[in-house]
Amino acid sequence: MKATIIAAGLATLASAASAQDTLTVYTYDSFVTEWGPGPIIKENFEAQCDCTLDLVAVGDGAELLSRLQLEGDRTEADIVLGIDENLSAAARDSAMFALHGVDSPDLSMPVEWANDMFLPFDWGYFAFVYDKTRVENPPQSFEELADSDLKIVIQDPRSSTPGLGLLLWVKAVYGEEAGAYWERLADNIVTVTKGWSEAYGMFLEGEADMVLSYTTSPAYHLLAEGDDTKAAIAFEEGNYMQIEVAGKVATTDVPELADQFLDFMLTDGFQSAIPETNWMYPAHTPQEGLPEGFESVVPEKALIYFGTEARDIREVALEEWRAALSQ
């Protein structure tokens, strides 16, 4: 008798545990912090999935993929969220992701989306950000920038995704002439930092007139600090995009839940959190629209290399960059 009661109790426990499936999402570090989108997204998704959403921070954007590859088939990850589109070819080549299976995702982006393995969750335009009180006539193009005596801080394309974005941006605008352009730009560059944080911090300290960041960066200062002195520039040649994508890991033990998360990712429960926590454009504009400051600078032309194209161009562009700036 006693034994059956215990057994029944155990069975109840077991079923309670299985009802609470866990979805493990690997993402980059700043996503999960109390200032990032993580906490809001966890609450909203758990309210509808009857599951536990486990957001795991794994270094920065580039480290995400190398961590997944290190773990290989034994990985606990069901979803990887936060891969830069510029690095998505390597993600595809790793053979660790499944197709997302969403036919025509409802996206609000200036470019077509044809990727059957990864779905975007946010995006932005790279742009040079300056302080209006210090720079009166900001350059309107790469040409004007190189001809000016303004000082800029940029990031290293070998260790930073904005740095990689600028590398490909220059390549997209100048093609064969990219190396020559970098040589012209060299005297404008104060320094090249490991990551975005160092560069942006240096800019705020007044070490440079402009910094490579995003068109949405001034919105942070406006909305969070009530400071409207920062501005971003839409270049005449167009601005390069950063698209951040997520994919379903092929070895996931909760494939339905993973699919459910990818669907949820493009709804307001996820997308509303993006603008004022990640300071990027939501991949699907939520019902309430975009916050103030997000549409004050809209580039006329959106530039981007997708997946394999970005990978193939990267190596050549990196060598041109290195050679031009090492002189």
Partner 1 sequence: MTRTTATGSIALAVVLLFTLGTLAAVFWRAEGLSGFGTADWAALRFSVVQATLSATLSILFAVPLARAIARRRFRGRGLLILLLGAPFILPTIVAVFGLISVFGRSGIVSDLLRLVGLEPISIYGFHGVVLAHVFFNLPLATRLVLQGWLAIPSERFRLAASLGFGPRDIARTLERPMLREVLPGTFLVIFLLCLTSFAVALALGGGPKATTIELAIYQAFNLEFDLGKAALLALVQFALGLAVALVALKVALPSGIGAGLDRSVTRWDAQTQMLRAVDAALISAATVFLVLPMAMIALDGVPRLFSLPASIWWATLRSLGVALASVLVTLALGFPIAALAVKRRGRLVEGIGSITLAASPLVIGTGLFVILFPLTDPFALALPVTALVNAVMSLPFALRALVPALGQIEADYGRLADGLGMTGMARFRHLWLPRLRRPLGFTMGLSAALSMGDLGVIALFAAPDAPTLPLQIYRLMAAYRMPDAAGGALILLASSLALFWLFDRGGRADADA
Nearer to partner 1 by Cβ, of 26 and 123: the residue is 26
Matching residue, tokens 């949405």:
216
Q: Is residue 224 within the footprint of partner 1 (CB under 8 A)? A: yes
Nearer to partner 1 by Cβ, of 38 and 282: the residue is 38
Looking at this protein, which amino acid is placed at residue 124? Answer: G
Q: Is residue 260 within the footprint of partner 1 (CB under 8 A)? A: no
Nearer to partner 1 by Cβ, of 89 and 109: the residue is 89
Nearer to partner 1 by Cβ, of 117 and 223: the residue is 223
Write the DSSP string, 156-179.
Answer: -TTT-HHHHHHHHHHHHHHGGGHH
Window 41-70: residues binding partner 1 (CB under 8 A) = 55-57, 59, 62-63, 65-67, 69-70
Q: What per-residue string of b and e applies to 281-293 under the rule 16 or more CB within 10 Å gives b? A: bbbbbbeeebeeb
Nearer to partner 1 by Cβ, of 109 and 212: the residue is 212
What is the C-alpha to C-alpha distance for residues 270 and 45, in angstroms, rounded to an integer? 8
Binding-site member from 21, 207, 259, 276 for partner 1 (CB under 8 A): 207
Answer yes or no: are the C-beta atoms of 235 and 142 closer than 8 Å: yes
Window 61-120: residues binding partner 1 (CB under 8 A) = 62-63, 65-67, 69-71, 74, 76, 87, 90, 94
Q: Is residue 228 within the footprint of partner 1 (CB under 8 A)? A: no
What stretches of 102-154 show up as alpha helix (H) in DSSP? 142-147
What stretches of 175-267 show up as alpha helix (H) in DSSP? 178-185, 196-204, 217-225, 255-265
Rg of the Cα atoms in the chain: 22
Q: Is residue 206 within the footprint of partner 1 (CB under 8 A)? A: yes
Q: Is residue 322 within the footprint of partner 1 (CB under 8 A)? A: yes
Nearer to partner 1 by Cβ, of 63 and 236: the residue is 63
Binding-site member from 40, 146, 202, 250 for partner 1 (CB under 8 A): 202
Binding-site member from 15, 33, 48, 229 for partner 1 (CB under 8 A): 33
Answer yes or no: are the C-beta atoms of 302 and 110 closer than 8 Å: yes
